Chains A and B, each alone.
Chain A
């Protein structure tokens, strides 16, 4: 009987798969150790190389077979997933606020920012422009984004780290040059009015701009911009926004890293996780970071790649609020009903 045989095989297969699925839910320490790095979107290529380098070094030193897993997504949604139970050993998110949200949930001990060198910043970055090759719209400075014929592509500040840094850079480009908040609000509203697609995460916005060909200017991380231009094979170019004769001006993007204390303590991976984070500050890791167009915080390595990173006037986002606190940036600009909601709902009404 063919039918019976097929049925028996199918039933055996499904039962086997079910057994595997059920057993896959059991949490057990993996031999040799396993770390999960929950990261923001545009750092996939960076972490692939950093992980390979770290695992090589760590295994040589300890004779183990460590593996490092990656999960990427919008910074805010990644933080949310960790709070909901994603077993991250370390988080490498785009924003202080997202890392701190995990602390607020009780998964990271207070004072995390001071536990690693350089305020837990192995590298920094900034927000720059990507334009179509030859810069047909002649976009050179932040002020050019206010023009009616310039459509800007940038992800949603509500969900994406890239989106938030873009928003803060736009706002700051007015305020840091002595403009008032009212002027900044006017300028930022104008820009977001002409954003054709508000993607949820950085890489989605890159695809919208580079592959689908939507928009004139892509506001994105410096590293993402470099990668995007390299992948486009001559169709795109990077613009460092600034007035003629002045240093380009933008925000100092600070993607903090942190060990998720409660997870590593339960999984018994603290030593490996801390070694992983410490590794990021070593010269070999800083070299990898520079090669991926992030600005390394090791002065010696940065000096070696000097001509790779144009000299810029980079301002910290915390200068935008009087208290200098990220919580107030969140409250002023991104919370429910704050600046972004107000100016974006104003767009919807138009």
Chain B
């Protein structure tokens, strides 16, 4: 750790980075009647209508179709078909590994960006956001070009008996790429807000880099990290586009849950398709609940500790 040779980011001197979420702590003025009642009524009504129609209805429809033939059929749809079972297994293998990679890379990237000023930092911040702006299909194709038989890397790996593309390692790479920003983006503003003072103090008291991370940094960012992990995991399990391209769509081998849902739907097996889709939806609901539970913790940790004017 070269914290003393590189210039640490001053807690309050720097203008807030682009990634800092603004206004999270500004006290809201109580909603007194600045707008006429009908404006409020129309806006609230529209919002309820849009959320209900775009989010609520499809949610209900998924479970309605999934449970159309009763609970027994629902369970049978999920567990009887070996390809569906394998898809669930594969998603439970691929998503956590992608999340794990992103936790490691995300913490490292966020720490470097929040603590140091160096040439190319702005580019790095932009690059972290890149997977959000690139179409997942393009992301998948990039891996095809990198690891395809026509690329040197693909050729070499093939010659040495290893398959990245059209196999689980490729699925993990594509998923990790697409979900990369989630963890880093959550951590950068928190690390910037906390400032380096606690870490510097620990350092001056003789803490090693490892102790510094486990005793100071990690406890400070743990809620933001958990929040990022949850979002990252939800997206990783639901990822379709990039995975579609790199999977080769081999039934019972490289089909993840979202791919399997599409396949079942196209094979006229609507109840099974919606059954599996409902599992993904349940996951989304769990994510939502976890998110709601964590958000207050995030706020109480977020205010900067020392050194802020």
> How many whole Å from A8's CB to the nearest CB in chain B?
14
Q: By the criterion CB–CB under 8 Å, are A73 and B249 in contact?
A: yes
Contacts of B154 in A (CB 8 A): 84-85
Q: By the criterion CB–CB under 8 Å, are B172 and A21 in contact?
A: yes
A204 contacts partner chain B, Cβ-Cβ < 8 Å: yes
Q: By the criterion CB–CB under 8 Å, are B251 and A69 in contact?
A: yes
Contacts of B8 in A (CB 8 A): none
B97 contacts partner chain A, Cβ-Cβ < 8 Å: yes
8 Å CB contact of A85 from B163, B265, B266: B163
Instruction: Given the known inter-chain contacts A45-B267, A203-B266, please indicate yes or no for A86 contacting B166, CB distance below 8 A.
Output: yes
Q: By the criterion CB–CB under 8 Å, are A14 and B161 in contact?
A: no
In the complex the two chains form, what is the Cα distance from A235 to B99 in whole Å? 46
B252 contacts partner chain A, Cβ-Cβ < 8 Å: yes
Q: By the criterion CB–CB under 8 Å, are A231 and B268 in contact?
A: yes
B5 contacts partner chain A, Cβ-Cβ < 8 Å: no
B11 contacts partner chain A, Cβ-Cβ < 8 Å: no
Q: By the criterion CB–CB under 8 Å, are B97 and A85 in contact?
A: no
8 Å CB contact of B162 from A14, A25, A204: A25
8 Å CB contact of A21 from B162, B165, B169, B267: B169
A197 contacts partner chain B, Cβ-Cβ < 8 Å: no
Instruction: Given the known inter-chain contacts A14-B100, A20-B93, A69-B251, please indicate yes or no for A25 contacting B166, CB distance below 8 A.
Output: no
B124 contacts partner chain A, Cβ-Cβ < 8 Å: no
A13-26 Cβ-contact flags toward B at 8 Å (1 or 0): 11101101110111
| Residue among A45, A84, A207 with max Cβ neighbours from chain B (10 Å) | A84
Contacts of B266 in A (CB 8 A): 44, 203-204, 207
The residues of B with any CB-CB pair to A shorter than 8 Å are: 92-94, 96-97, 99-100, 144, 147-150, 154, 158, 161-172, 248-253, 263, 265-268
Q: A25-B162, A27-B161, A85-B148 are in contact. List 9 more A-B contacts (CB 8 A).
A: A20-B168, A21-B97, A25-B164, A45-B267, A69-B251, A71-B248, A84-B149, A84-B165, A86-B165
Q: Which 7 A-B pairs rank lowest in CB-CB distance, beginning with the nearest?
A: A84-B148, A85-B149, A24-B168, A14-B100, A25-B169, A86-B248, A203-B266
10 contacts between A and B (CB under 8 A): A14-B96, A21-B97, A25-B163, A69-B252, A70-B251, A71-B249, A71-B250, A83-B149, A86-B248, A227-B268
